[in-house]
Structure 1
Amino acid sequence: MDIPAAQKPPKGIQDPQLANESSSKEQVPRFGSDMDLHSETLAKEVLDPAAERKLLLKLDSVFVPIIMVVYLSCFLDRSNIGNAKIAGMPEDIGASPAEFSTAVSIFYATYVAFESPWSILLKKLTPRFLLTSLCVVWSLTTVFTAFVTSPGGLHAARLVLGACEGGLFPGLNLYLTMVYKRDEQAKRVSYLFVCTALAGAFGGLLAYVILKMDGIAGLQGWKWIYIIEGIFSVLIGFVIWFGLPNDPSNAYFLNDEEKRMMRVRAAQRAQYMGSEKFSWEEITIELKDPKMWISGAIQFCQDILLYGFSTFLPSIIQSMGYDTLQSQYLTIPVYMFGGICFLVIAYISDRLCIRGPFVAFANIFGIVGYVLILCPTANGVKFFGTFLCAIAVYNGPGLNLTWLNVNVAPHYRRAAAIGFQQTIGNTAGIVAGQIYRTPPYLLGNGFSVGALGLAQVLIAGKWFYIRRLNNKKRRIEAGDIADDRKVKTGDRALDFKYHL
């Protein structure tokens, strides 16, 4: 359980052991290490709230821009197939509507297969090496996609792209848990999902500009989309290598006092982070956790929207009667609005430490939005509906993932939970590619409404289940009932309160 940081303390407990602490690496407790006497001493220290806020601002100013630009490039390379579609790619490579839909879906076959292995291997291979390697490979794959000449070539490129990008999102989420406390995470996870909105907005704007290069060097405009965006992503690999340290507590931009504060924060989060030692037992425990499976089912429903909307929004807008270039730039305000709404709701969620009700609240807007698009309304009303959909598109997956992040401990149990939840959720990408085939996309939009309705039921079920777990812990602690639980460590500990 996190130590409250809001009370006004003395500067800190001046333990002689801490005052004379050696800077040797062996004496610095690493994130996720087991609690020893020294760590317990650190955990009891209460940091000056003003100093901790300043530290958080410094962490955000360095880590957040790097993480955001990395995920932006990742999502840009994944979703630009939607921009290429309305720019003539299927016709140029001889792909039928069914073959092109398969290209969209097949990406998720390798994406979901590699998510869990990459998330579990993150510590073993180190964040810097793993994330940089994956970024370089998927970036080069994006560049080479510009030169495919057949549906088979496109399918092969999408399979490689999925295998590499599958490690990024769970990896970045685990990295955030190494830096931030439970009540600080929703806002930071929101930055990742805001990047999906920015990728859509930036991708639409970039596609609008790049398509004007059609014919330069004898290449079609859609080929330039892949080349330019792929080269941009290659450069991001260098940002990861030099910008993300393997051990955030000893980051290059922190001074000695800030590194000490990071060690205090790490000790305070020791129960949440847990041991760094790989344990099949922890993974087995998580595989039996209903929270993870319900969360995965919710994520599947929410990702139907995320992948269908983010990939096919240009096509959805085009089906309303707009031309190719208009369909590209009209996506920009929709994506931006969705991202801003997510930032606001995630901030409130962190402040109140409430998760599930905000997911359900955002979904209401999505249901109304899709109904407006489906009904025989004017094009202006349908376009307004896309703004309402965007609220659910980004808040749903982002807040649901945070809801799982903060309720699972220790590290490898959480790594398994994130990996498996994302694996379940991202199979929705396979479905999204098949339901959005022909305009006006009644099947895709109707399926999305149904997914939101099912998500609402699952969210309510998970909320009541978690509340029952909290009540049971409270009754055991009060001595009202016997403790018959088989697992009592990590998030199952009595003093670990689940966020509702």
Structure 2
Amino acid sequence: MAVPSLTPTTPTSVDGARRLSQELSDVTDSIEAEKVLRKIDWRIIPLLQFLYMLTFLDRVNIGNARLWNLESDLQMTGYDYNIIVLVFYVPYILLELPSNYFFNRVEPRKFIGVIIMGWGLSVTFAGFSTSFVGLLVARIFIGIFEAGMFPGCIYLISGWYRRHELLTRMAFFFVANDIAGTISGLLGAGLGSLDGVRGYSGWRWIFFIEGTATCLAATLAWLFVPPFPDRSTFLTPSEKQWLLKRLKADNKGMSHEKMTVKSVVDALKDWKILTSGVLYLAVCTTAYSISVFQPTILRTFGWGELKSNLLSAPPRLASGIVSVLLGIWSDKIQRRGVFCLGGFFLSILGLLLIAFLKGSLRYIGVYFAAIGIYIVQPLCIAWCANQVTSSNKRGTITAFAGTLGQLGGIISALVFPLKDGPQYLPGIMTCIAFQIAGIIAAINMWAICAYENRQREAGKRDYLRELPREERDKLGEKHPDFRYTL
């Protein structure tokens, strides 16, 4: 049996409209639908994954730089390093929510291209710092420019896929963190070994080379980052209409509108959005602790700088593989809560092993802590995005969750001072406490959404069908046909 054609047709007449209708029917063929989805996947995910990898790499390279004379060259003492780590998050937190407001109004390729160039230059010039204050200023500018990257990418991805296709894509996207965590240690070891070349310390070479690579990547963003589906140019007219139709069918009352201050304020009153912030805060407190302080913790095992850098890579590689596999499984069975809770509990187990085991056996705990928390990171964002229908709320969720998540970065920067080594009990227990808060938030999300689904199955929300059509179209996730993801 021949595979239906997807030749683009523009309906300029009744016959044209009929031809387009036939093409839309053809696209619903499972083989052709799969081809269109793969086309979208390859156009969006690898590029955004690569660009976000640079974000994370440039954010956490401070941990590797520390091992190559950073503190001694800049005469840093006491909490100076912790302050350098912390200050990045201040502008990041302040600008993350406003950034999606502008992302909603500017072409994604232009927005992302400009901010990548901005932080790439900031990282490069950080390598020329001659004092603690100079490095501090550079880190502030990195935070300013990076603030729009995470919420913008998640907002864009969530606009292209149905609710139970989303986690798989987000898991692949978040693998960028694991790739960055894996190669960060390798890059730290390789670039740091240039210590003394042309009179520059190893930490300077880390900033020089990684910052320059990021500037070059800004060109890719400007040229190739796609727009939202309704303005896409790489899909044929029939493919685009099929995509928009299936997205609307997946979200009753789905709407695509410009974000306004009022819409953001209204969205922040929604308990689901507030819960997304708590969940991501719980995740990021541990995730950033692992990313930034893992080389320092590994050094307490009695390993040298090079070995600590190199052995920070395998746990991140393992966590990336597991998070993608569980993302695919979660989308297949359309469940989120059980995986979210499982990830939190596994990470807590790993942190306890790091806290109470001795010697290199603690390395086992690093694996468990990393795998567990990086399971939850894409999952909690996808889960919360699944519970809303409007583009305004999705944009607010990604930005608000990211904003609170960066508070976790500030917390991690403060609770791992060198004086607490080698066990770092205060920092580890802080991470565990936040993960317990995340478990409570996940149970709350699961229980309330399950209750509401039962009410709709029993017809308790059918009275909303009697509303005028204009009001029904504005119900969003309150529509009686909408079901929350559990």
Is structure 2 residue 215 aligned with structure 1 residue 234? yes
* Deviation by residue 1:24-83 (Cα, 9 ceiling, x = unmatched): xxx99xxxxxxxxxx999999971111111111122222211011100011000000000
Give, in whole Å, the separation in 2 of the partners of 1:483 and 1:267.
21
Give, in whole Å, the separation in 2 of the partners of 1:57 and 1:347.
15
Equivalence map 1:262-281=2 (5 Å)? 262-268=243-249, 271=252, 273-281=254-262
Q: Identify the residue that residue 459 of structure 1 maps to in structure 2.
A: 442
* Offset at residue 232 of structure 1 (A): 0.8
User: With structure 2 as the length reference, what TM-score do the two structures score?
Assistant: 0.90
Residue of 389, 394, 397 corresponding to 1:414? 394
Alpha carbons of structure 1 residues 132 and 481: separation in structure 2 relative to 1, 3 Å: closer
Structure 1 window deviating more from structure 2 (487-496 vs 50-59): it is 487-496
* Offset at residue 103 of structure 1 (A): 1.0
Residue of 286, 299, 308 corresponding to 1:305? 286
Give, in whole Å, the separation in 2 of the partners of 1:277 and 1:376.
52
Give, in whole Å, the separation in 2 of the partners of 1:195 and 1:20.
38
Q: Identify the residue that residue 191 of structure 1 maps to in structure 2.
A: 172
Alpha carbons of structure 1 residues 466 and 45: separation in structure 2 relative to 1, 3 Å: farther
Partners of 1:200 and 1:335 within 8 A in 2? yes
Give, in whole Å, the separation in 1 of the partners of 2:222 and 2:203.
30
Alpha carbons of structure 1 residues 86 and 111: separation in structure 2 relative to 1, 3 Å: same
Partners of 1:299 and 1:422 within 8 A in 2? yes
Residue of 146, 161, 181 corresponding to 1:180? 161
Partners of 2:44 and 2:226 within 8 A in 1? no
Partners of 2:121 and 2:211 within 8 A in 1? yes
* Offset at residue 489 of structure 1 (A): 1.4
Gaps of 5+ in 2: none
Alpha carbons of structure 1 residues 479 and 183: separation in structure 2 relative to 1, 3 Å: closer
Alpha carbons of structure 1 residues 418 and 152: separation in structure 2 relative to 1, 3 Å: same
Give, in whole Å, the separation in 2 of the partners of 1:102 and 1:184.
40
Give, in whole Å, the separation in 1 of the partners of 2:177 and 2:82.
21
Gaps of 5+ in 1: 1-9, 13-17, 29-38
* Offset at residue 477 of structure 1 (A): 5.0
Is structure 2 residue 319 aligned with structure 1 residue 341? no
Residue of 396, 405, 415 corresponding to 1:435? 415
Q: Identify the residue that residue 476 of structure 2 maps to in structure 1.
A: 490
Partners of 1:144 and 1:227 within 8 A in 2? yes
Is structure 2 residue 98 aligned with structure 1 residue 117? yes
Give, in whole Å, the separation in 2 of the partners of 1:372 and 1:475.
46
* Deviation by residue 1:299-330 (Cα, 9 ceiling, x = unmatched): 11111111111111111111111100000000
* Offset at residue 136 of structure 1 (A): 0.3
Structure 1 window deviating more from structure 2 (461-470 vs 194-203): it is 461-470
Structure 1 window deviating more from structure 2 (242-251 vs 39-48): it is 39-48
Q: Identify the residue that residue 3 of structure 1 maps to in structure 2.
A: none
Equivalence map 1:3-22=2 (5 Å)? 21-22=11-12
* Offset at residue 22 of structure 1 (A): 3.9
Give, in whole Å, the separation in 1 of the partners of 2:401 and 2:44.
24
Q: Identify the residue that residue 469 of structure 1 maps to in structure 2.
A: 452
Structure 1 window deviating more from structure 2 (65-74 vs 191-200): it is 191-200
Residue of 365, 375, 386 corresponding to 1:385? 365
The residue identity in structure 2 corresponding to 1:382 is R
Secondary structure at the aligned position of 2:28 is classed as coil
Give, in whole Å, the separation in 1 of the partners of 2:23 and 2:428.
53
Q: Identify the residue that residue 217 of structure 1 maps to in structure 2.
A: 198
Partners of 1:43 and 1:264 within 8 A in 2? no
* Offset at residue 149 of structure 1 (A): 1.6
* Offset at residue 425 of structure 1 (A): 2.1
* Offset at residue 182 of structure 1 (A): 1.1
Partners of 2:68 and 2:195 within 8 A in 1? no
Secondary structure at the aligned position of 2:428 is classed as helix
Give, in whole Å, the separation in 2 of the partners of 1:370 and 1:304.
12
Q: Which runs of 4+ in 1 moved over 6 A?
A: 39-46, 480-484
* Deviation by residue 1:368-417 (Cα, 9 ceiling, x = unmatched): 111111114341x2011111111122112211111111111211122122
Q: Identify the residue that residue 150 of structure 1 maps to in structure 2.
A: 131
User: With structure 1 as the length reference, what TM-score do the two structures score?
Assistant: 0.88
Partners of 1:249 and 1:262 within 8 A in 2? no
Tell me the C-alpha RMSD between the 2 structures.
3.1
Q: Identify the residue that residue 306 of structure 2 maps to in structure 1.
A: 325
* Offset at residue 471 of structure 1 (A): 2.5
Structure 1 window deviating more from structure 2 (291-300 vs 246-255): it is 246-255
Alpha carbons of structure 1 residues 98 and 483: separation in structure 2 relative to 1, 3 Å: farther
* Deviation by residue 1:255-312 (Cα, 9 ceiling, x = unmatched): 5554454344455457465132344453233121111112211211111111111111
The residue identity in structure 1 corresponding to 2:365 is G
Residue of 385, 407, 427 corresponding to 1:444? 427
Alpha carbons of structure 1 residues 292 and 257: separation in structure 2 relative to 1, 3 Å: closer
Is structure 2 residue 485 aligned with structure 1 residue 499? yes
Alpha carbons of structure 1 residues 55 and 403: separation in structure 2 relative to 1, 3 Å: same
Give, in whole Å, the separation in 2 of the partners of 1:445 and 1:478.
45
Give, in whole Å, the separation in 1 of the partners of 2:80 and 2:226.
42
Equivalence map 1:17-56=2 (5 Å)? 21-22=11-12, 47-56=28-37
Alpha carbons of structure 1 residues 186 and 44: separation in structure 2 relative to 1, 3 Å: same
Partners of 1:475 and 1:481 within 8 A in 2? no
The residue identity in structure 1 corresponding to 2:374 is Y
Q: Identify the residue that residue 395 of structure 1 maps to in structure 2.
A: 375
Give, in whole Å, the separation in 1 of the partners of 2:259 and 2:297.
46
Give the percent of matched residue pairs that are identical in Structure 1 and Structure 2: 27
* Deviation by residue 1:228-253 (Cα, 9 ceiling, x = unmatched): 00011111111111111324456454
Partners of 1:476 and 1:483 within 8 A in 2? no
